[in-house]
Structure 1
């Protein structure tokens, strides 16, 4: 169900958390859908073991949430081991807390850095027996716990998350937590996460071989035995390709988010995404708020203001798929690195479109990096395909990013950012009206009156959109709940302001100024 007018999209907790798990998949160096499949494996094992509904629900969500903290220390990880995504991908081949794990880290120490840096990182690992890595695991658990709190999960979820890196033999993190002191959902999720990767890579036998090799060390022996009994049946029943639909259908206790809870959830996602690099701290929320203010300044309806803010919160959801060796690089990017950066918009698109109710949000968020002259990414769309809402978000993103420090430059002053933004409008990359609305929203004096194009009011923009889609005067009146005569007066004023006398000319004006989110005709 998609929101229209003043309504709010209907989104479930499973869809919101599932969408975040897709971002975590990228950060783990796994295909999107890894955590969804892990959740199904964990849930089906829990069902066969006869766990209660409450335990099954905890297991289901824990599998989606347990690893989302992996990007929280990406900046520090990249500084010590190079490409943070490649590092995490390789961890599935060694046992956390084992000598093999330490050996793996030592081989990766200082990757991509000079000899002195490699020697220093290696020395620190040996001298502290990997203390910095353990500290990173603690940080991971802390931020996932905070996220769970913000998403409305109970205290038990936070307790389970704090044990994500515990081992059955007590040699994990937190130190000394062992055996049945580790919650059963946590033990199941850790097994399922490992099984999914090795099953995908080498089939059922490979998955069973790996968990047998860790029986009694990191994994609960009884759970390994249970999985040996049920594993083939569980794995054979998994969907062949994507597990998204199966994941949502499997939710043991579906909960729908209210409009306020959805906004709070999207804010939590935005803050979490920005943990990817200290240079991004507060970026998504700042862009969202500025874009919403600019949308009001541009004279767009209140429903569009809410939509743009939500799109701003999630416009960089795909950043987790790009390593911090690129995001935090102090120098110029190579062509290959730039292509990888541009992929994050594609990843964002893929994640958001998994949730049909967020279709309108996705349609704006995924155009944030497009430009009117066709030089943007990831689709290089022409101006006519970019609605005004997306033009406003793009300008807000540019302005806000300019006022933040980046690895290759200090933050611009507000005046410097304003000059640069107006330059982008002059050369045809950004929409001039959107730029002035953003600058007005940021506290600058705009060079033209705020409001819609040609001085249209918010109501006139709504009418123009309906006219462009071939709605009759009566249909416009019924849609907007106004008298037909009032609708007719609006149409006359609009035609005067935009210098048009026909519906076709009005439609062309609306498309030229990005006022149409779609080109679909109005239903009779």
Structure 2
């Protein structure tokens, strides 16, 4: 039976808003707070209830295209997350080149994707149009089409003024925020709206924890696939496309094979579709890095599941799924993150999600390696189970769901240990670093002829004839 992985449009919008905030280096409630200000401005300007609701939705979704152009901003600014935060807060380093020709193509991608998302979830045409025009300016100096009034919907000004006030007041204080906004009067926004905002800005910011009463939007009660959130996240890194869908399918089938009840199967599938939310907060340069990460970059990766867990706070109806999703990188030996849990606390659904995500990742190519074959991926999980990091039952369920492969207890620690001796393992690890026989001999304090004997034995046992192939086999079997 196909399990239901839909959410309401309102829930999808809230999740997309959070992903957008993380991608732009903003607090996870930044778009919510900006939307409240945009609504208040619309109300004060005499807009009808429907227009106020549309302004709220455009504000929440205004970053929904930002994952699609993350690679472009990474190339332009070096850091797609921190760089765009600096753009929003007017803190880019002096001399940063941000020409129209370099940014306009990225703005076009952003607007097209966010408009397409609004269309896909069935939001009103006014919302879609607003998203496609959200970077245009009152005087025609915006992007990507350089439209000017009256060809820009008025709700775009509500959105931009509410958003800019929230971001700039948080970064610089309200007085400086109003000065920066006033400097763009009759350029980015109409002067009359700037004056209206200035009158109420302090009052609205003080009351911004309590939202105004928005008009109901019937379309928000409709249901849409939760996978739209996963797909939006994975636009950030093209080599990730489809990953969360694969994990969801594998985790659900593994849960069925493991005998978990339908409710847990359902939660696992939905959690898998959410588990990448926190990935949006990490700059592309870190994801693309092929070598060893420094401490600061590694700490950003450790926070990925934390930000995913925060999605349950922002969308309480998905709290259980977000909590499960945030355990995807925990390991039985306590070496995982971000909670550093171990076998005493990890449940079977959490263990299955971890195994399914690891297997799906191995089976997909990455910029620094090709995809593992099914036997190679199974060997990696076998080694991880033998080392005490993955649960053997969960691994068996994931492998069985993938292609029917199963591991017996005898395939884990004992057989792995007997394959290569400790000395052969040490030699293989040195070979994987590109060292010659003489260099290995010097490091291990043995003779070159002894190294040569060990290399021949390693090749024979691993069924290899080259050092590169032996290295790959060593990685898949967990010797390296």
Look up the match of 1:86. Answer: 82
1:305 matched to which residue of 2? 265
Give yes or no for contact 2:278–2:308 (8 Å, CA) kept in 1.
Answer: yes
SS in 2 for 1:379: coil
Write the deviation string for residues 21-80 of structure 1: whole angstroms up to 9, x where unpaired.
222222212222211110010011111222112101101111100122222211232123
| Pairs within 5 Å for 1:2-151 | 13-94=9-90, 107-108=95-96, 129-151=99-121
Residue 424 in structure 1 maps to residue 394 in structure 2: no
**Alignment partner of 1:146: what SS?**
helix
Q: Give 1:16 shift.
A: 3.3
| C-alpha distance 255-422 of structure 1, shift in aligned 2 (>3 A) | farther
Alpha-carbon distance in structure 1 between the residues aligned to 2:80 and 2:6: 35
Change (3 A) 1:105 1:168: farther
Residues 19 and 352 of structure 1 are in contact (CA less than 8 Å); yes or no, is this contact kept in structure 2?
A: no
Within a 5 Å distance, the mapping from 1:244-255 to structure 2 comes to: 246-247=210-211, 250-253=213-216
TM-superposed CA distance for 1:374, in Å, is 0.9
Corresponding position of 1:261:
223
> Structure 1's 55 and 169: CA in aligned 2 closer, same or farther, altered over 3 A?
same
Cα gap change, 1:234/1:335 in structure 2, threshold over 3 Å: closer, same or farther? closer
Does the aligned pair in 2 maintain the 1:14–1:254 contact within 8 Å? no
Q: Report the counterpart of residue 198 of structure 1 in structure 2.
A: 168
170, 175, 179: which one pairs with 2:140?
170
1:251 CA displacement:
4.2
Question: What is the aligned counterpart of 1:228 among 191, 194, 198?
Answer: 198
1:381 aligns with 2:341: yes
1:354 Cα offset (Å): 2.4
Query: Structure 1 residues 285, 227: closer, same or farther in 2, change over 3 A?
Result: same
**2:276: which partner in 1?**
316
Deviation at 1:343, TM superposition (A): 0.8
Q: Is 2:280 aligned against 1:284?
A: no
Secondary structure at 1:276's aligned position in 2?
coil
Alpha-carbon separation, structure 2, partners of 1:190 and 1:311: 33
TM-score scaled by length of structure 2: 0.79
Alignment CA distance shift 1:363-1:281 (3 Å): same
Shift of 1:318: 0.7
Q: Deviations over 1:338-391 (max 9, x none)?
A: 221111111111122322221221231111110111111000112132111111
Unaligned runs of 5+ in 2: 410-480
Whether 1:358 aligns to 2:336 is no
DSSP-derived class of the 1:132 partner: helix
* Rounded Cα–Cα distance in structure 1 between residues aligned with 2:171 and 2:299: 27
Q: Deviations over 1:87-120 (max 9, x none)?
A: 11111244xxxxxx9xx699346xxxxxxxxxxx
CA offsets per residue over residues 292-329 of structure 1, 9 Å max, x none?
Answer: 11111212222222111100000010111111110111
Structure 2: distance between partners of 1:105 and 1:51? 39
Q: Secondary structure at the match of 2:329?
A: coil
Report the CA distance between 1:409 and its aligned residue.
1.9
- Paired residue secondary structure (1:384): coil
Alpha-carbon distance in 2 for matches of 1:7, 1:74: 32
Cα RMSD after superposing both structures:
2.5
Alpha carbons of 1:338 and 1:171: their partners in 2 closer, same or farther (altered >3 Å)?
same
Q: 2:94 & 2:376 partners in 1: Cα distance?
A: 45
1:127-181 deviations in Å (ceiling 9; x for gaps):
xx54232101000011111211222212221111110110111121232411121
How has the CA–CA distance of structure 1 residues 192 and 408 changed in structure 2, closer, same or farther, with 3 Å as cutoff?
same
Contact 2:250–2:401 at 8 Å: present in 1 too? yes
Contact 1:304 1:389 in 2 (8 A): yes
CA deviation profile, 1:406-459 (whole Å, cap 9, x unmatched)? 23222211211111011111111111111111111111322469xxxxxxxxxx
CA shift, 1:283, in A, is: 1.2
1:173-214, Cα deviation, whole Å (9 max, x unpaired)? 232411121111111101111111121233332222111100
Map 1:433-472 onto structure 2 (within 5 A): 433-447=393-407
Contact 1:14–1:251 under 8 Å retained in 2: no
> 1:488 aligns to what?
none
Q: Distance in 2 between matches of 1:9 and 1:325?
A: 32
Distance 2:191 2:10 in 1: 30
- Partners of 2:178 and 2:407 in 1: how far apart? 67
Map 1:267-278; keep pairs closer than 5 Å: 267-278=227-238
Answer yes or no: is the 8 Å Cα contact 1:11–1:257 preserved in 2: no
